[in-house]
Structure 1
Amino acid sequence: MSTPNEADCVIVGGGPAGLMLALLLLRSGLEVTVIEKHADFLRDFRGDTIHPSTQELLSELGLLEEFLTRPHADMPRVQVSWNGTELILADFTHLPTKRKVMTFMPQWDFLDLIADACAEHPGFRLIRSTRIDGLTREGERVVGVTGAGPEGDIAVRGRLIVDASGRDSVVRAAVGLTPVGRASAMDVLWFRLSKRSGQTFPFIQAGEGMIITIDRDDFFQIAHVIPAGSWTGSTDDVEEMHARIARISPRMADAVATVTAEDVHLLRVSLKRLRRWYVEGLLCIGDSAHAMSPAGGVGINLAIQDAVATARILGPVLRGAGPVGVADLRRV
């Protein structure tokens, strides 16, 4: 067993990509440290759309049964109400998977599931409430990270450093990797909407704009798509949002009229990626490597596929005695 400040792999970011990679590496007998800046996973308005392919992975990992005990809602078909006309946008019932549904699960529940599975392995260490403030190098190679947490400064070294800290990564910036791409034509307003007993809305309502409704049992989580750059949070913006949603979905009018600017979380959509997603000793995955549009809920699922690819390609290298080379990182 290595010392507490060493691991085979050090992962910055305890999101879907980081924790899934940790689990896969742990199951192959490696030691993994995950550093997460928050104290817990309880944050609203994060990706929570679990595609059938990701559920198939959970089945292969023996986690599907436990996954289904967590709060979730299943959707076998994606239906759209377009100016009152009902359309089927996607049908999952014909897929060759165990679960032929798209599942909505609060991301904190999903991350708790993966973190719990990681914690079954003695080589796992999760450091919370700690922000990375620097990198440790030996020559050109990144060999560790430094950070500050509630118990003071930390320094952790690893044979591989993985940045899974998201689209605003400070680690990525510190190694000089700059994403390329452009801003999207849309932004998204996220907010909660009160729910009456038995009340339902179509998943997607479109007309003069678009509303996506996720049923959370006790409330609705709403994503309202707007033109990029059009939201400042002003009184006029809020009133126009109320009116626009009422025109798209008249049954929402009363509930949305109580939503204030303070209730709204603005997601500025950007479509960016790294042309090179690695430097010597360090690999970027998930949103750090490729920020996705929220359309289709693909982000969390592609982040998990990044983790699978990383574990499949680099796991055998990490189990060997030699270093993880640039040629290895390029293959991911």
Structure 2
Amino acid sequence: MGAITKTSVPCVVVGGGPAGMMLGLLLARSGVEVAVLEKYPDFLRDFRGDTVHASTLALLDELGLGERFAALPQRRLSTLTMRFDDGEFHQDFSRLPGRHGHIAMVPQWDFLDLLAGAAEESPCFHLARDAEVTDLIREGETVRGVRYTDRDTGREHTLRAAVVVATDGRHSTVRDRLGLRPKDWGAAHDVLYMRVPRELGDPGHTVLRFSASGGLILIDRGHYWQTALLIGKGRAEAARADDGASVRAVVTRLAPHLADRMAAIGAKDIAVLQVRIDRLPRWWVPGALLIGDAAHAMSPIAGVGVNLAIQDAVAAARHLTPALRRGHVTDRDLGRVQRRRWLPTVLTQAAQRAAQRRFVADSLGGAEAPAAPLRMPAPLRVLRHWKGFTRLAGRAVAIGLRPEHLSGALAPLDRTRPHMRG
């Protein structure tokens, strides 16, 4: 379970998250042998990014996986509401181009199981679970593979490759072993996650609540609310120190209908996400490429992290497939991936930083009553009644900048032509 029987493959992918599993699937379907090394025995970890945007849904259609995805348990959002102390702003997804006028909220483990199952249909795909990468194999300045431990048996293994792709997240082991340091753009907040039971009389949609007394995100999971409370950077442990009393007070004030259920929430029920926005100046070294959060950690604002990572994976597969087929990956091949994905990453992070400044930073209150209400930013207040703007805002979130498709070397994988609205 935690080891690959081969000693070398053309490509090793470190990390079995959305980017790693998508890259493994695309390479394997292109006839390139690939090994994905996942540190844990399964994908069952709570409070991971699970917002699947319309651009990713279109990509799944192109892969012939649309029906399989539709069968997963999910909640579909055609609008997203941002509620301020003085009004609401709605992002409209219902008029997006293509077949999907919504975004889907799907437990990430279900999504990853789907990708893994589809990838395992190819003999070119190898997945090792419980396989923790501990070091890199190098020849001079060039990465030639990885060393990893089978955590089930404790045995160490080596696996050589023409290229190593790191998709192992914001705490990337590969990045650390390479000595790469991302530029940290700072984040004003962290996030406290908890599950709160949902009842029949509750509002039936996901809401982002921004107030002078706190910021709260309620994601409708059917039987429960995945509840995220924004809190000032470094204040998470202090907020949990009173067994969650201050957290309960803020959530109750922002969402009074949850008051009775919040009484049962204690510190043990509250998870902490340390928010980061950072980016490597260069995403590659000879023989290795970093994508997704390993190259650029995203804020949870707008839930774009999963989708940016998947777009990175598609671009990486498109540019690396020809090189891996010929058996030699050059620095130029690696650089092309970063050039393709650089602009959408930079602009998306810039938008997240602007959102932090405009309203997130002002919604990091505490248990004390706010001195004044938090008003909606003026541009949103002026434009919220113009349907064209709410649809444009929805498109910016649900499709994003430069969505990737199965073109170029991946074109033969396109089983279905996306249907466009008339």
* 1:201–1:259 Cα change, 3 Å: farther
1:251 aligns with 257
Structure 2 unaligned regions, length at least 5: 338-422
Which has the larger helix fraction? 2
1:129 aligns with 130
* 1:124–1:252 Cα change, 3 Å: same
1:42 is the counterpart of 2:44:
yes
Contact 2:240–2:247 at 8 Å: present in 1 too?
Answer: no
For 2:332 and 2:87, locate their aligned partners in 1 and report how far apart those are by CA, in whole Å. 53
* AA aligned opposite 2:175: R
Q: Alpha-carbon deviation of 1:27? A: 1.1
1:204 aligns with 208
For 2:198 and 2:26, locate their aligned partners in 1 and report how far apart those are by CA, in whole Å. 39
**DSSP-derived class of the 1:206 partner:** strand
Q: Alpha-carbon deviation of 1:131? A: 1.1
Moved more, 11-20 or 182-191: 182-191
2:23 aligns with 21
For 2:10 and 2:177, locate their aligned partners in 1 and report how far apart those are by CA, in whole Å. 21
Q: Alpha-carbon deviation of 1:306? A: 0.3
Contact 1:83–1:248 at 8 Å: present in 2 too?
Answer: no
For 2:134 and 2:159, locate their aligned partners in 1 and report how far apart those are by CA, in whole Å. 12
User: Percent identity at matched positions?
Assistant: 45
* AA aligned opposite 2:121: E
For 2:25 and 2:315, locate their aligned partners in 1 and report how far apart those are by CA, in whole Å. 13
* AA aligned opposite 1:212: I
Aligned with 2:198 (options 179, 189, 195): 195
For 1:83 and 1:195, locate their aligned partners in 2 and report how far apart those are by CA, in whole Å. 23
1:158 aligns with 161
1:262 is the counterpart of 2:303:
no
**DSSP-derived class of the 1:39 partner:** coil
* AA aligned opposite 2:96: L
Aligned with 2:295 (options 276, 289, 293): 289
For 2:317 and 2:59, locate their aligned partners in 1 and report how far apart those are by CA, in whole Å. 13
Structure 1 unaligned regions, length at least 5: none
* 1:5–1:179 Cα change, 3 Å: same
1:52 aligns with 54
Contact 1:53–1:97 at 8 Å: present in 2 too?
Answer: no
Contact 1:10–1:161 at 8 Å: present in 2 too?
Answer: yes
Contact 1:201–1:213 at 8 Å: present in 2 too?
Answer: no
Moved more, 77-86 or 279-288: 77-86
Contact 1:144–1:161 at 8 Å: present in 2 too?
Answer: yes
Structure 2 counterparts to residues 1-332 of structure 1, below 5 A = 4-83=6-85, 85-88=87-90, 90-149=91-150, 150-151=152-153, 152-200=155-203, 202=205, 203-207=207-211, 208-232=213-237, 233-236=239-242, 238-321=244-327, 323-332=328-337
CA-based RMSD? 1.6
Moved more, 2-11 or 203-212: 2-11
For 1:92 and 1:201, locate their aligned partners in 2 and report how far apart those are by CA, in whole Å. 17
Contact 1:92–1:100 at 8 Å: present in 2 too?
Answer: yes
Q: Alpha-carbon deviation of 1:143? A: 0.8
Q: Alpha-carbon deviation of 1:84? A: 7.4
TM-score when scaled to structure 1? 0.95
* AA aligned opposite 2:192: L
Q: Alpha-carbon deviation of 1:217? A: 2.0
For 1:146 and 1:171, locate their aligned partners in 2 and report how far apart those are by CA, in whole Å. 11
**DSSP-derived class of the 2:11 partner:** strand
**DSSP-derived class of the 2:59 partner:** helix
Number of residues of Structure 1 aligned to a counterpart in Structure 2: 329
* AA aligned opposite 2:233: A
The Cα offsets for residues 100-152 of structure 1, whole Å up to 9 and x where unpaired, read as 10110000000001000100000111111121111111222111111111232
